[in-house]
Amino acid sequence: MKEKIIIIVGPTAVGKTNLSLSLAKKFNGEIISGDSMQIYKGLDIGTAKATNDERKEVTHYLIDEIDPSENYTVADFKSKAKKLIHDITAKGKVPIIVGGTGLYIESLLYNVSHGGQAEPNLTYRNSLEAFAEQNGKDKLWEKLQSIDPKAAESIHYNNTRRVIRALEVYHSTGQLFSSLQMEKSEKEKLYDAYVVGLTTDRSLLYERINQRVDLMLQQGLIEEVETLLETVPITAQSVKGIGYKEFIPYFENCIDLESATEQIKQNSRRYAKRQLTWFRNRLEISSWWDLVQVPEQQKELENKIENFLRM
């Protein structure tokens, strides 16, 4: 019998943390973070981690586990999350996976590798980033198109990070990235999962994102980034997260604080749009909910989850 899990996905600032805490308390659950940045120690404000008080109320995993100088891969997440799901279930509790990193959620639910077996090749990655800067994102995408047309078809040329990863996987393993993407269609779900999708009106979501960035600045985001940059190089994976990388030109006196802040807001809004597209196209969502505009619907959602857990 497959282990039962609850998964909560949705764009940034849509209310995933609040819902996860509420469901964990109601259904005797423990929370596994499915966020690629919350794993890092010290990256608290910019990643919108659950607070210490919230983590005392409900047990959380895969938060504050590694140093910002370390790399963290899809394969690392899968390995840790699978063991945690088994351990949490064995205790008679409900595993609740929460996150906005669609790559992680999909790889766990369908056992898709996404080239996870390919270790990061930072030298090659940096060379591709330099190529994109000098020649443009479209030229980098054309590199991928010449090697792996199927992968290029599914990755927008503006998604430089994903284009680079596809090229990196081929460079390191000789395998086409597109062949790894086909694994999802060839394998069934590993878990009996109820997947909750959170969304809301786009203009309202963007307003919430802007407000969240302003709040992060009030909470001390600049000091958090400054501390991070004192301890790790700007090439570190942790520094490349939204809310961190935008401050590099600010600290180098190339842009002012207002410009850096606007860049964070813009990048966050774009990321939210990509998240929604990913979840809609690549995951089988059990039900979609707008708890921002219709919070009273949470009771109906809880009833559906209760029925799911009883089955």
Binding residue ranges for substrate: 12-17
CA-to-CA distance for 292 and 201, rounded, in angstroms? 9
Contact (CB, 8 A) for 15 and 291: yes
Beta bridge partners of 8: 98, 196
Annotated binding site: 10-17
Task: For residue 101, give both structure tokens.
Answer: 């990193």
CA-to-CA distance for 256 and 14, rounded, in angstroms? 29
Which pairing describes strands 29-33 and 60-61: parallel, antiparallel, or unpaired? Answer: parallel
First and final CA of the chain: distance in angstroms? 12
Annotated binding site for ATP: 10-17
The three-class DSSP label of residue 230 is helix
Q: What is the DSSP string of 247-270?
A: GHHHHTTSS-HHHHHHHHHHHHHH
**Phi, psi values for residue 278, rounded to 5°:** -60, -50
